[in-house]
Structure 1
Amino acid sequence: MSSPVPSVLFVCVHNAGRSQMAAAFLAHLAKGRVAVRSAGSAPADQVNPAVVEAMREVGIDLTTQIPKLLTTEAVQVSDVVITMGCGDACPVFPGKRYLDWELADPAGQGVAAVRPIRDEIATRVRKLLAELG
Structure 2
Amino acid sequence: MSKPTVLFVCVHNAGRSQMAAGWLRKLAGEIVEVRSAGSEPADQLNPVAVQAMREVGIDITAAVPQLLATEDVRASDVVITMGCGDTCPVFPGKRYEDWELLDPAGQPIEVVRGVRDEIRRRVEKLVGELGSGTAGRVHDHDDAE
- Shorter chain as denominator, the TM-score bin is over 0.9
Percent of aligned pairs with the same residue? 69
Q: Does 1:9 pair with 2:7?
A: yes
2:65 aligns with 67
Measure how far apart 1:65 and its partner are.
Answer: 1.1
2:123 aligns with 125
1:30 aligns with 28
Structure 2: 5+ residue stretches without partners: 132-145
CA RMSD of aligned residues (A): 0.5
1:19 aligns with 17
Q: d(CA) in 1 for partners of 2:89 and 2:51?
A: 31
Question: Which residue identity is paired with 2:15?
Answer: G
Q: Deviation string for 1:50-87 (max 9, x for gaps)?
A: 00000000000111111001000100010000000000
Residue 127 of structure 1 aligns to a residue whose secondary structure is helix
Number of matched residues?
A: 131
Structure 1: 5+ residue stretches without partners: none
Q: d(CA) in 2 for partners of 1:112 and 1:53?
A: 11
Moved over 3 A (4+): none
Q: Deviation string for 1:86-131 (max 9, x for gaps)?
A: 0011110011000000001101112111000000000000000100
